[in-house]
Amino acid sequence: MAELGDKTQVATFLFATQNPVHKYLVFLGAFSALVVSTLLVVLLGSKVAGLLPMKVIRILSSLGFIAIGIFILLRELNVFRSLFP
């Protein structure tokens, strides 16, 4: 259970627990979704890498992770309570 890291895995887990869902179809659907999303990210990443230097990509991705962290921290501190009730 500790390895069920993201919402997609949790949703797949919950979907597989429902009857009368065929477990192999759940696997095939989750597997296909992972393959397609990974393919799209690889294609997009290769295009971005051709347009921007790696230093810029690293800086932008670092800033993105920092922004997400700040947003999560502020959300937990209820700073956005008036914006997102």
Place of tokens 């959300």: 75
Q: Any idea which of 24-28, 33-37, 51-55, 76-80 has the lowest mean pLDDT?
A: 76-80
| Phi and psi at residue 79, to the nearest 5° | -70, -30
Confidence of residue 76 (pLDDT cuts 50, 70, 90): confident
Dump pLDDT digits (tens) for 8-34: 888 888 888 887 888 898 899 989 988
- The pLDDT of residue 20 is 85
- The pLDDT of residue 23 is 87
- The pLDDT of residue 84 is 61
Where is pLDDT greater, at 67 or 13? Answer: 67
Residues 6+ apart with CB under 8 A from 52: 60
Mean pLDDT of 62-80: 87
